[in-house]
Chain A
Amino acid sequence: MTSERRFPVRLDVRNGAVDMSHGSGGRAMAQLIGELFRRYLDNALLAQGNDQALFAPPPGRLVMSTDGHVISPLFFPGGDIGSLAVHGTVNDVAMAGARPLYLAAGFILEEGFPLAKLARIVESMANAANAAGVPVVAGDTKVVERGKGDGVFITTTGIGVVPEGILISGDRAEPGDAILVSGSIGDHGVAILSKRENLGFETEIHSDSAALHGLVAAMVEAVGEIHCLRDPTRGGLATTLNELAQQSGVGMQIREDAIPLRPEVAAACELLGLDPLYVANEGKLIGICPPDRADDLLAAMRAHPLGADSAIIGEVVEDPHRFVQMETRFGGSRIVDWLAGEQLPRIC
């Protein structure tokens, strides 16, 4: 499967659609890969045309992560499933303090999916990968029958290498540690909701989908003793804080008025009866570090473009119940619970 192979008829990207032959492993699939995927996702390893990418890993400990992306709608303000698939896995790898090296991407395409849309998605993915400096070096494509997929599903797997001396893990939070967040919460979830047809409101909010490994590198360089890093994606800030509290066997105390929140996101959540603490983010992270390092960490985060609105939002405490408690901006107190299921808009 080299790019020099000729096909009798060029792929009609403008008007064509995915059909079952594109997943069958034969010429049609080769053409799809050669004339669509490889047009955008091109690098030395992919160009070899093997079913695997061969490379020598740099010295150090490796991390690996994988993520399936099933988002709907596929295109939203600030991104699409392609860029999201890159950012999501780059971030998962980066949350170990690692430098991401490579990505692999598996596509499951639904029969009938327009090639024009697929091309947009793949181009977006390639742009995101290039901007992040993390190439997609292996891939796979399958096709399922019409009705058995939601247009396209993408699974990305990433590997990275962790610098010497860094040990970042969700079970390392200790009572007294400071809790920081890298910017405003809820942007991605609201941007998505604004596109879903039955919630017709318009807003200027864009998804915050972004690759955070540069920010993480700056943070780790400034403060080697970071205990935990995690990006609050599905389920929002609240869910991720609860996960970390559980893993580390601690409680947390946060302050509502310290949490960065854009007015438009707040307003959209009011209208829908949603709590921004539970709304998804795709370009933010939570950092937990020893209290005496908090100011340095904050400064390092704020110095980076993706962390300009960073804030210290609370601290880790002893708590056998592992509650995340919040002082509300009203001056009262409540716990911030795990989300039961997906937060649904409510009328009452």
Chain B
Amino acid sequence: MCLAIPARITAIDVAADTAKVALGGVSKDVSLALVEGAAVGDYVLVHVGYALNKISEEEAERTLRIIGEMGLLEPAQDTGLSEMAPASGTGGRS
């Protein structure tokens, strides 16, 4: 729902419970009141001036990989692997 954007924490102000986050060369201060254990270098979802959740970089890479595997190659790019294995979804029942 609602617009939330991934951004990287570049600095943390523990006393104020805020962080500086960066996205594509723009930086912004956000509140950390809704997350726990955030560290510099973590990616968080930013929504209305708050960090909502951390983003799992591992899961992000995995999702992209699976998307890549799910996609059929165009004929010109066919390397013989055009038949992709049926994937069971990235999470199954969760």
User: Residues of B contacting A203 with CB < 8 Å?
Assistant: 25-27
Residue A266 is within 8 A (CB to CB) of chain B in the complex:
yes
Report the interface size class on chain B: 10 to 19
- Please choose the segment from B1-9, B34-42, B67-75, B85-93 that sits at the chain A interface, where 4 or more of its residues have CB less than 8 A away: B1-9
A347/B28 contact (C-beta < 8 A), A267-B23, A271-B5, A271-B23 known: no
Q: Are B47 and A347 closer than 8 Å at their CB atoms?
A: yes
**CB nearest to B49 among chain A residues:** A200
A201/B1 contact (C-beta < 8 A), A271-B46, A347-B47, A347-B48 known: no
Q: Are A268 and B2 closer than 8 Å at their CB atoms?
A: no
Residue B80 is within 8 A (CB to CB) of chain A in the complex:
no
In this complex, the member of A203, A264, A271, A347 whose beta carbon has the largest number of chain B beta carbons within 10 angstroms is A271
What separation, in Å, do the CA atoms of A175 and B10 have in the docked complex? 50
In this complex, the member of A202, A204, A273 whose beta carbon has the largest number of chain B beta carbons within 10 angstroms is A202
B32 CB to nearest A CB, Å = 16
Q: Are B48 and A271 closer than 8 Å at their CB atoms?
A: no
User: Residues of A contacting B3 with CB < 8 Å?
Assistant: 273, 346-348
A263/B25 contact (C-beta < 8 A), A347-B47, A347-B48, A348-B3 known: yes
Q: Are B28 and A201 closer than 8 Å at their CB atoms?
A: yes
B72 CB to nearest A CB, Å = 14
Residue A270 is within 8 A (CB to CB) of chain B in the complex:
yes
Q: Are A268 and B26 closer than 8 Å at their CB atoms?
A: yes
User: Residues of B contacting A266 with CB < 8 Å?
Assistant: 24
Residues on B lying within 8 angstroms of A by beta carbon are: 1-3, 5, 7, 23-29, 46-48
3 interchain residue pairs of minimum CB distance: A267-B24, A264-B25, A348-B2
User: 16 new A-B pairs (CB below 8 Å) besides A202-B26, A347-B47, A347-B48?
Assistant: A200-B29, A202-B27, A202-B28, A203-B25, A203-B26, A263-B25, A264-B24, A267-B25, A267-B26, A268-B26, A270-B24, A271-B26, A271-B28, A271-B46, A273-B3, A346-B3
